[in-house]
C-alpha cells in the first residue's frame, strides 16, 4: 500500500493532463429544430441539374424506404373479381375487387368510355378523407362525377378505397403499433402498395394504353398521388389537388409514415416528378392558399433545370378545401391536353350518381363466401408482409443489405466531418450537429470507445486506460442525447418520427461521423469497443462503416425479437431490412 503522497501523486497529474477540458456546449440542430406536420417548410435552391439529380436519388430512396418498398415486394396475382356492371350514358361502371396482397382485397369502381376506341389513357383516382370515400358526392367533392366525366371524355378510370373505407375494411384506417412499425406495416405503406397494384391492373386491361397513365386525388388522395409518382415511373401525368403546401404536410397516419419527411417536405417530394406534366390545384381557403406565389415557383425552379418550366402548371380556386366542379374541370382540361392534345377545356356534364349499394362489392356486409375463406386478418396480413421481407433478406447480396439498412436507419457515410473548436465537437458539414468529443493522439491503430453513460464514464474504462497506456490514438464521443449531449427534445407530436430520426438512429449516425473523422486523420483499422446499450450503436455502425473496423462481439449477445428491439434499439422499419441479424452479418464479414 502506497503512503499518501507516494506514486499516486506522480501518476494522477499525468492522467488528468490527458483529459481535455469539458466543451462549451451549443444546441444540436436535431434538438433545436424539431419539426412536425404544421412546421413552416421551405424549398432548398438547386443551382444545377446535376445537384438536383443527386438530391432526387436520395429523396426517392427515402420515400421508398418510408413506404416500405425496401426490400422489394412480390407482385402477386391480382385475381380481379367483378361485381356487376352499370350501363350509363357514354360510359360504364364496374365494381371490382383486387387482391393486392394474398388474402387482402382492395375495392374500387372501374369507369370505361363507350366511344369505340381501341386504346385509352387511364387515370388512377385515390380519394381523400371524405366520409364516403370513393362514393362521396357533395358540392365540394365528388369522386363519382370526376370519374364519370373523365370516362365520357375518353379515359379509363379506377376510383379505389383507402384502407378502412367502403369495401376495404380488413385493416382499419388508423393502425401501426410499435411492432407493426418495426416491420414498416402502416397505412401509408399499404395504400402506396395498393396504388402500385392498381397501376398493374390498369396496364393489364386490353383497352388501356399502358404508356398513358395519370393520377389525381384531393387532400389525402393528393398525398397518395404524389407519393405514387415518387416511387413508380409508369405514371406520365399527375394532378394532386389541395395538398402540396409549405404550411401543412398531411395530418393522417396514412400520409405520414416514419422517415418520410426527415429533412424534406411535400413540395420537394412532388418535384421528384419533374419534368413530366404536373398540375397543382390549390384553394384560397385551406393550407394551399399560397401555392401560386410560393409553392408553384419552388416546384417550377426544378422544372427549369430540365428546361421545361411549362410542364408544371398551377390553378387556384376561390373556395374552401375541395375537389369541386371548378377544380375538376381544371383537371379535365389538363389530362385532355396531355393525353389527347385537345386545346378546348371540356365542361363537366351532369351524370347519374348511382346509389351506394350499386357501387359496392360488399360494403357493410361480410366478404362473399368464396373470398372469406381466403381473406386474412390483420395479423395474417402482417405475417405475409413479414415473410416477404425475410425471404428477400435471406437471398440478398451484402451490398443490397447494406443499402437497405442504411436507408431504414436514415444514416449516411459523411463526405466531410469538421471540428468545431468553440464547442469541442464534431459535425457533418452543413448539418448543424454538435457531437462532443475528446481525442488523445498517439501512434498505431486508432480506437473508438462508446459508453451509453458518456465520455466521463468512458474515461474510467479499463479498456480506455489500456489503450492510453499503449499510446494509441483514442477517440471518445458523447453520442446523441448521451452525457454532455443530453438536451431537451420535444417528442410530443404524434407524427414525431415522420419528421425526426429516432434517438437510436441518430446515435448510429454519430458513430459513423466519428469513424469518418478518425479514419481521415489516422491510418489503420479502427478498433471499436463499447459498453452497455452503446454496443447496439457499435454493431450497426460497424455494419455500415466504409473504413476498416474491428468490433469484437458475440453474435448471440443481441436479441433479434421485436420486443427486444422495441426496448433496446427502436427504429421503425428496421425488421424489414433484417434488423440486428443483418447488422451482425455485415459487421462480421469483410468490408467493401
DSSP 3-state of 436: strand
Contacts of 410 (CB under 8 A, 6+ apart): 62, 65, 259, 262, 501, 505, 509
Tell me if 31 is assigned to some domain.
no
What pLDDT, in 10s, does the model give residues 133-179?
999 999 999 999 999 999 999 999 999 999 999 999 999 999 999 99
Q: Name the 3-class secondary structure at 214.
A: strand
pTM here is 0.94
- The answer to whether the bond into 384 is cis (omega within 30° of 0) is no
CATH number for the domain spanning 323: value is: 3.40.50.1820
Do residue 403 and residue 366 come from a single domain? no
* Interval 495-521: pLDDT, tens: 999 999 999 999 999 999 999 999 999
- Residue 335 inside a domain? The answer is yes
3-state secondary structure of 212: strand
**For the chain, what is the domain count?**
2
Cell representation of residue 323:
375537389
Q: Is the peptide bond before 345 cis (omega within 30 degrees of 0)?
A: no
> Which CATH number goes with the domain that contains 488?
3.40.50
Host domain of residue 514:
396-588
Model pLDDT for residues 410-428, shown as the tens digit of each residue: 999 999 999 998 889 999 9
Following DSSP, what letter does each residue of 274-294 receive, concatenated?
A: TTS-EEEEEEEESTTTTTTTT
By CB atoms closer than 10 A (0-12, 13-18, 19+), residue 560 is middle
Residues 582 and 394: their CA atoms lie apart, in Å, by: 9
Residue 8's pLDDT band, with cuts at 50, 70 and 90, is very low
d(CA 427, CA 450): 17
Residue 173 falls inside a structural domain: yes
How high is the pLDDT of residue 6?
43
Comparing CA positions, the residue from 424, 449, 443, 442 lying closest to residue 434 is 424
73 three-state secondary structure: coil
Q: In which residue are the cell numbers 425526426 written?
A: 500
Is 474 inside a domain boundary?
yes
**Mean pLDDT computed over every residue of the chain:** 94
- CA distances 411 to 360, 414, 509, 529, 533, Å, are 45, 9, 5, 20, 19
- How many CB atoms lie under 10 A from the CB of residue 391? 12
Residue 433 and residue 296 share a domain: no
* DSSP structure string for 381-393: HHHHHHHHHHHHH
Band of residue 346 on the pLDDT scale cut at 50, 70, 90 = confident
**pLDDT > 90 fraction of the chain, expressed in percent and rounded:** 88
Residue range 428-465, pLDDT digits in tens: 988 889 999 999 999 999 999 999 999 999 999 999 99
Q: Is residue 57 part of a domain?
A: no
Distance CA 414, CA 538 (A): 17
CA pair distance 539, 352, nearest whole angstrom: 62
Question: Which stretch of DSSP H or E encloses residue 519?
Answer: helix 503-521
Amino acid at each position: 500500500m502506497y503512503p499518501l503522497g507516494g506514486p499516486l501523486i506522480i501518476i494522477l497529474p499525468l492522467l488528468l493532463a490527458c483529459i481535455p477540458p469539458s466543451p462549451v456546449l451549443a444546441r444540436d440542430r436535431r434538438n433545436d429544430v424539431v419539426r412536425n406536420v404544421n412546421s413552416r417548410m421551405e424549398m432548398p435552391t438547386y443551382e444545377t441539374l446535376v445537384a438536383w439529380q443527386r438530391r432526387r436519388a436520395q429523396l426517392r430512396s427515402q420515400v421508398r424506404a418510408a413506404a416500405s418498398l425496401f426490400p422489394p415486394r412480390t407482385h402477386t396475382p391480382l385475381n380481379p373479381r367483378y361485381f356487376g356492371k352499370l350501363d350509363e350514358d357514354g360510359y360504364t361502371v364496374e365494381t371490382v375487387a383486387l387482391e393486392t396482397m394474398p388474402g387482402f382485397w382492395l375495392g374500387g369502381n372501374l369507369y370505361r368510355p363507350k366511344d369505340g376506341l381501341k386504346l385509352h389513357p387511364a387515370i388512377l383516382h385515390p380519394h381523400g378523407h371524405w366520409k364516403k370515400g370513393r362514393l362521396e358526392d357533395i358540392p365540394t367533392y365528388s369522386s363519382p362525377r370526376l370519374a364519370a366525366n373523365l370516362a365520357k371524355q375518353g379515359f379509363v378510370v379506377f376510383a379505389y378505397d383507402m384502407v378502412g373505407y367502403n369495401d376495404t375494411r380488413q385493416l382499419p384506417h388508423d393502425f401501426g403499433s410499435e411492432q407493426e412499425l418495426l416491420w414498416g406495416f402502416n397505412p401509408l405503406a399499404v395504400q402506396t402498395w395498393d396504388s402500385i397494384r392498381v397501376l398493374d391492373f390498369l396496364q393489364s386491361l386490353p383497352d388501356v394504353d399502358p404508356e398513358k397513365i395519370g393520377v389525381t386525388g384531393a387532400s389525402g388522395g393528393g398525398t397518395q398521388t404524389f407519393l405514387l409518382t415518387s416511387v413508380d415511373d409508369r405514371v406520365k401525368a399527375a394532378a394532386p389537388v389541395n395538398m402540396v403546401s409549405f404550411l401543412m404536410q398531411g395530418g393522417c397516419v396514412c400520409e405520414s409514415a416514419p422517415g418520410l419527411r426527415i429533412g424534406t417536405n411535400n413540395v420537394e417530394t412532388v418535384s421528384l416528378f419533374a419534368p413530366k406534366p404536373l398540375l397543382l390545384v390549390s384553394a384560397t381557403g385551406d393550407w394551399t392558399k399560397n401555392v401560386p406565389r410560393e409553392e408553384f415557383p419552388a416546384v417550377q425552379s426544378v422544372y427549369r433545370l430540365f428546361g421545361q418550366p411549362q410542364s408544371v402548371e398551377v390553378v387556384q380556386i376561390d373556395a374552401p378545401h375541395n375537389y369541386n366542379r371548378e377544380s375538376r374541370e381544371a383537371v379535365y382540361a389538363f389530362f385532355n391536353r396531355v393525353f389527347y392534345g385537345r386545346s378546348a377545356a371540356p365542361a363537366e356534364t351532369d351524370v347519374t350518381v348511382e346509389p351506394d349499394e350499386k357501387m359496392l362489392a360488399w360494403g357493410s356486409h361480410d366478404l362473399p363466401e368464396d373470398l372469406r375463406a381466403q381473406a386474412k386478418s390483420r395479423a395474417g396480413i402482417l405475417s405475409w408482409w413479414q415473410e416477404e421481407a425475410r425471404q428477400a433478406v435471406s437471398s440478398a447480396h451484402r451490398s443490397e443489405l447494406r443499402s437497405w439498412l442504411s436507408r431504414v436507419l436514415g444514416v449516411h457515410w459523411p463526405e466531410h466531418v469538421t471540428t468545431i473548436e468553440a464547442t469541442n465537437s464534431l459535425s457533418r458539414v452543413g448539418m448543424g450537429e454538435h457531437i462532443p468529443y475528446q481525442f488523445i493522439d498517439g501512434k498505431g491503430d486508432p480506437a473508438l470507445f462508446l459508453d451509453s453513460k458518456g465520455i466521463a464514464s468512458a474515461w474510467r474504462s479499463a479498456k480506455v486506460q489500456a489503450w492510453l497506456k499503449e499510446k494509441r490514438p483514442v477517440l471518445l464521443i458523447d453520442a446523441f442525447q448521451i452525457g454532455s449531449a443530453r438536451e431537451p427534445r420535444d417528442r410530443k407530436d404524434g407524427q414525431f418520427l415522420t419528421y425526426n430520426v429516432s434517438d437510436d438512429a441518430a446515435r448510429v449516425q454519430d458513430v459513423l461521423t466519428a469513424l469518418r473523422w478518425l479514419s481521415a486523420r489516422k491510418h489503420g483499422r479502427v478498433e471499436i469497443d463499447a459498453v452497455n446499450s452503446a454496443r447496439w450503436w457499435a454493431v450497426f455502425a460497424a455494419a455500415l462503416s466504409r473504413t476498416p473496423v474491428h468490433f469484437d462481439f458475440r453474435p448471440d449477445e443481441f436479441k433479434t425479437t421485436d420486443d427486444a428491439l422495441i426496448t433496446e434499439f427502436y427504429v421503425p422499419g428496421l425488421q424489414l431490412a433484417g434488423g440486428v441479424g443483418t447488422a451482425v452479418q455485415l459487421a462480421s464479414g469483410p468490408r467493401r
